[in-house]
Structure 1
Amino acid sequence: MFGLFGGHQPFGGTFSQAYRCYPVSFIDKLDAENGDKIFLPPSALDRLASLQIEYPMMFKVENRRGGRHTHCGVLEFIADEGLAYMPYWMMQNLLVGEGDIVHLASARLPKGQLIKLQPHTKDFLDISNPKAVLETTLRSYSCLTVGDCIALHYNGRRYFIDVIEAKPAEAVSVIETDCEVDFAPPLDYVEPNRAEPPQDSVPEPAANGAADQAGPSSAEPAEEEAPKFTPFVGSARRLDGRTVAAPAAPSASQPSGPAAAAAARAQQGGAGPGSSQAPKRPAGKVVFPAGNRLLAKQQQAAAPKPPESKPEPEEAKFQAFSGKPRTLKG
């Protein structure tokens, strides 16, 4: 008896049987959850051997009521007749429960060249080397089918991953093949919002009518003139402590600087219309006016003379060797 429907198929055909499916936990094979291999009855092995099915054996599993299908391999032929034990994640993909009927058919799958996977949560990105972990996990798999959701166990946690693309076919073999693996963003991944740089606002030009109404008053105010430097504006002091009359503050109209000093010297020198200019002096010589010397002599003569001090008697000077001579004989 082969499966629920029994009967023999002609040699050289494909293997096709129907079984009631149960999870691998029913036969205490929990390690089989980390893969895609199922358990079939011993009669299936006899039939497969007579049909000369190529190794490794692969099967297409269908839930014809739900319209779902996937592919798998076989691990052992120890199941009871009419029953097939498979990983629970595979039963979830097929939308079948315990005791539901599934149809198996032998299949030949090409070697995979590209597989694109999409994790369900972004926690999968926290794994230090996800590709190495995935490579270790896929050693327990014989094939992958687009639309499957496989379970990856790592560091005490379980990660669900969808197969969203496969090349060169919808279902490919991953046994002894150099397959490229690509990852899509996780289902719960949210692209961070990037703040756009602020755009400089350009003021719009005023209308012609508004500009005419504004008139000259709308012109921009002129820049304030910087304060000018005015030298020697502090208060004067005399060395003898007498008060000095405060000089008049220079007005803005009066010249300052070297020009002002030259003008002051010209006024003091009698540059007016009624005075005569000072005679030119030869360069490199110092000339003292005669009137100034005469005035200095008169002031010196009129000044009272200090009293003459009498010379004090000189103290007796010390004279060396002024005593009487004496001899040693006495």
Structure 2
Amino acid sequence: MFSFNMFDHPIPRVFQNRFSTQYRCFSVSMLAGPNDRSDVEKGGKIIMPPSALDQLSRLNITYPMLFKLTNKNSDRMTHCGVLEFVADEGICYLPHWMMQNLLLEEGGLVQVESVNLQVATYSKFQPQSPDFLDITNPKAVVCRLENALRNFACLTTGDVIAINYNEKIYELRVMETKPDKAVSIIECDMNVDFDAPLGYKEPERQVQHEESTEGEADHSGYAGELGFRAFSGSGNRLDGKKKGVEPSPSPIKPGDIKRGIPNYEFKLG
């Protein structure tokens, strides 16, 4: 008994009510048509042929339709949703970033399988460049990420996605997802965290030694040079008259005064 494949495109197979087939994959930029499909490049959904929709309907695959993509030659895999069923038979169109993650070239074979994923509760992203720290408004980053993830149906640990902020592209690697390594992010309440950017190094803390500057005066020996001179000012009379001018005693030199040594020759009066 022999089997012949009379079609140029592979026939989808069913394993336990699951869609599974191989397609020749091309980037979205190769899709023929007058419409600009740059929106597909920014998301995580693919374009499949009409026969896939017919087969999925027969299998009663319900919304959201999620798929596992595998490159068997490199053992790389990711997950995605589907945007449209308008591709030529035997062909599917992928965002360019998705083909890079799968290490696929134009026209390479990709295995497409339908899957059911748990709803995401947590995800952590790592910016792929320290330039990410130049963004001074964290709320704007979170808002931009939320808008970007609306074009995705699911997240897979290890994938690298991109967001556009202030006309600059920032790549983010999915470091962790919960409750599984691949999760659905359609209509979910997900906590988001960020890891330190790739290549970021914390600045080294330099110990500053306190040294007296040239402009700072050292007053430690000032009191010792002048000595202690109590009541060196002049007084006033109670009757308002000016005090007679008396010759002022010769100034005491600092060397004549020795603190702590009494003057035994001192006499009262």
2:66–2:115 contact (8 Å) kept in structure 1: yes
Query: What residue in structure 1 maps to residue 189 of structure 2?
Result: 178
2:163–2:170 contact (8 Å) kept in structure 1: yes
Say if 1:255 and 1:39 are closer, same or farther in 2 by CA, change over 3 A. same
- Residue 23 of structure 2 is aligned to residue 15 of structure 1: no
TM-score, with length taken from structure 2: 0.73
Query: What residue in structure 2 maps to residue 106 of structure 1?
Result: 114
Deviation at 1:195, TM superposition (A): 2.2
Deviation at 1:133, TM superposition (A): 1.0
Say if 1:255 and 1:177 are closer, same or farther in 2 by CA, change over 3 A. same
After superposition, residues 140-219 of structure 1 pair within 5 angstroms as: 140-196=151-207
Q: Which protein has greater RCO, CA pairs closer than 8 Å, 6+ apart?
A: 2
Deviation at 1:174, TM superposition (A): 0.6
Q: Which has the larger radius of gyration?
A: 1
Q: Distance in 2 between matches of 1:177 and 1:188?
A: 32
Aligned with 1:22: secondary structure? strand
Q: Distance in 2 between matches of 1:2 and 1:152?
A: 40
Deviation at 1:3, TM superposition (A): 8.2
Deviation at 1:154, TM superposition (A): 2.5
Pick the structure with more strand per residue.
2
Deviation at 1:153, TM superposition (A): 1.9
- Residue 33 of structure 2 is aligned to residue 25 of structure 1: no
Which residue identity lines up with residue 99 of structure 1 in the other structure? Answer: G
Q: Distance in 2 between matches of 1:14 and 1:180?
A: 31
Which residue identity lines up with residue 9 of structure 1 in the other structure? Answer: V
Gaps of 5+ in 2: 1-5, 211-223, 233-246, 258-262
Say if 1:75 and 1:2 are closer, same or farther in 2 by CA, change over 3 A. farther
Say if 1:197 and 1:88 are closer, same or farther in 2 by CA, change over 3 A. same
Aligned-pair Cα RMSD in Å: 3.0
TM-score, with length taken from structure 1: 0.60
1:58–1:74 contact (8 Å) kept in structure 2: yes
2:18–2:113 contact (8 Å) kept in structure 1: yes
Deviation at 1:234, TM superposition (A): 4.2
Deviation at 1:224, TM superposition (A): 9.2
2:12–2:19 contact (8 Å) kept in structure 1: no
Which residue identity lines up with residue 18 of structure 2 in the other structure? Answer: T
1:58–1:108 contact (8 Å) kept in structure 2: yes
Query: What residue in structure 2 maps to residue 75 of structure 1?
Result: 83
Q: Distance in 1 between matches of 2:189 and 2:229?
A: 85
2:144–2:164 contact (8 Å) kept in structure 1: no
Aligned counterpart for 2:48 among listed residues 23, 31, 40: 40
Aligned with 1:60: secondary structure? strand
Say if 1:3 and 1:177 are closer, same or farther in 2 by CA, change over 3 A. farther
Which residue identity lines up with residue 81 of structure 1 in the other structure? Answer: E
1:62–1:70 contact (8 Å) kept in structure 2: yes
Which residue identity lines up with residue 24 of structure 2 in the other structure? Answer: R
2:13–2:20 contact (8 Å) kept in structure 1: no
Which residue identity lines up with residue 20 of structure 1 in the other structure? Answer: R
Identity %: 45
- Residue 132 of structure 2 is aligned to residue 124 of structure 1: yes
Question: Over residues 38-64 of structure 1, what are the superposed CA-to-partner deviations in whole Å (9 max), with x where a residue is unaligned?
Answer: 000000000000001121100000011
Q: Distance in 1 between matches of 2:51 and 2:170?
A: 36
Which residue identity lines up with residue 178 of structure 1 in the other structure? Answer: D
Query: What residue in structure 2 maps to residue 59 of structure 1?
Result: 67
List, as ranges, runs of 4+ consecutive aligned residues in structure 1 with deviation greater than 6 Å. 227-231, 251-254
Aligned counterpart for 2:123 among listed residues 115, 130, 133: 115
Which residue identity lines up with residue 184 of structure 1 in the other structure? Answer: D
Gaps of 5+ in 1: 200-222, 236-250, 263-330
Question: Over residues 12-59 of structure 1, what are the superposed CA-to-partner deviations in whole Å (9 max), with x where a residue is unaligned?
Answer: 521000001100011152210110000000000000000011211000
Q: Distance in 1 between matches of 2:12 and 2:96?
A: 29
Say if 1:197 and 1:155 are closer, same or farther in 2 by CA, change over 3 A. closer
Q: Distance in 1 between matches of 2:250 and 2:229?
A: 16
